[in-house]
Amino acid sequence: MLQLSILAPAVLNGLMTGAVYALIALGLTLIYGVLHIINFAHGALLMLSLFGVYFLNRLAGIDPYVALVIVVPAMFALGYALQRGIIARTSHGKDENVLLVTLGIALIIENLALFFWRSDTRTIDVPYAFDVVDVGFTFLSVPRLVAFGAAFVVAGLLWLLMSRTDLGRAIRAVAKERQGARVVGIDVEHIFAMSFGIGTACVAAAACLLLPTFYVTPQVGNAFVLIAFTVVVLGGMGSFTGALVGGLLIGLVESLGGLFLGETLGQIGIFLVFIAVLLFRPTGLFGDRT
């Protein structure tokens, strides 16, 4: 049978890839899971954040982790403006319009990126990119471990935001009872835009944590957006625990699938798990049963 020395690194690597999926899905579960904004621009916004981190590093020599304090607020502002200025104005509250508008935004952002930056694969050089820790049976990449830890921190922060602050309560209130929210004086359009902004800030954080060991091209978002939607539904719409566990699970399945079935066929495992979970738990792993 398979040796532990092959299996264990595959498991750990899968979990670390999964943490990145989780980071991206955390933002999406707020936007899509809680408020049902079908955000096809999520991947394009990730790509834009990655370019932001890339240029900050290349042009200004800013470390990707330091770039967090610039890229995260900037992407929050962009997300807020996109929802308030474009998506809300053009969708008139209809899901199918939201879907088309966000898809349109994604196409525009991606093609502008292609026009200005071409489809070259770009990477940055940081001195710690290949740092590893020896865990006995294998070596683990330090930047990827950082991303792994950050996924838990971001999930925890989002959970605190949603359960302990008025903003979080207002987001949950708006999700289920808009008229009720209006009569207590909640500015519903503002809350939608705040949620979109926070969700976008999450992909910005993911971008900062991803770039030390990853690359950026104008199409890089596509690889993640489908997986992010899968993770959100698999984990349970709007559940941060679900996004975290779902992301890790998908990363694990992808890694083990690759190990047993080969790189290309390995992806099939993701969708097998997805279908199996939805068959037995239609609301997802951590979704509300109501």
Partner 1 sequence: MLEVTGLRAGYGEVTVLHGIDMAMDKGEIVAVLGSNGVGKTTLNNAICGLARPFAGTVRFAGVTITGWPAHRVVGAGLVQVPEGRRVFPNLSVRENLELGSYRRGRANRTRSLDRVFAIFPRLAERASQKAGTLSGGEQQMLALGRGLMAEPVLLILDEPSLGLSPLLVEEMFALIRTIAAEGIAILLVEQNVVQSLEIADRAYILEQGCFVLSGSAGTLLQDDRLKRAYLGI
Which positions lie near partner 1, rule CB under 8 A? 166, 169-170, 172-173, 175-177, 179-187, 288, 290
Q: Which is nearer to partner 1, 15 or 194 (CB)?
A: 194
Q: Which is nearer to partner 1, 2 or 184 (CB)?
A: 184
Q: Tell the smallest beta-carbon distance from residue 120 to partner 1 (Å).
A: 47
Contacts of 243 (CB under 8 A, 6+ apart): 22, 25, 26, 28, 29, 33, 155, 231, 232, 235
CB 185, CB 49: distance < 8 Å: no
Q: Which is nearer to partner 1, 111 or 163 (CB)?
A: 163
Supply the DSSP symbol for 184: T
Q: Is the dihedral of CA 79, 80, 85, 87 positive or negative?
A: positive
Q: Which is nearer to partner 1, 189 or 263 (CB)?
A: 189
Q: Tell the smallest beta-carbon distance from residue 163 to partner 1 (Å).
A: 9
Q: Encoding tokens for residue 169?
A: 């309560």
Q: Tell the smallest beta-carbon distance from residue 174 to partner 1 (Å).
A: 9
Q: Tell the smallest beta-carbon distance from residue 78 to partner 1 (Å).
A: 24
Q: Which is nearer to partner 1, 84 or 172 (CB)?
A: 172
Any idea which residue has 């982790």 for tokens?
Answer: 65
Q: What angle do CA 200, 202, 207 make, to 5 degrees?
A: 95
Strand partners, 157: none
Q: Which is nearer to partner 1, 190 or 281 (CB)?
A: 190
CB 180, CB 186: distance < 8 Å: no
Q: Tell the smallest beta-carbon distance from residue 69 to partner 1 (Å).
A: 29
Q: Encoding tokens for residue 279?
A: 């068959």
Q: Tell the smallest beta-carbon distance from residue 155 to partner 1 (Å).
A: 20
Supply the DSSP symbol for 70: H
Q: Which is nearer to partner 1, 92 or 176 (CB)?
A: 176
Q: Tell the smallest beta-carbon distance from residue 159 to partner 1 (Å).
A: 15
CB 195, CB 31: distance < 8 Å: yes
Supply the DSSP symbol for 211: G
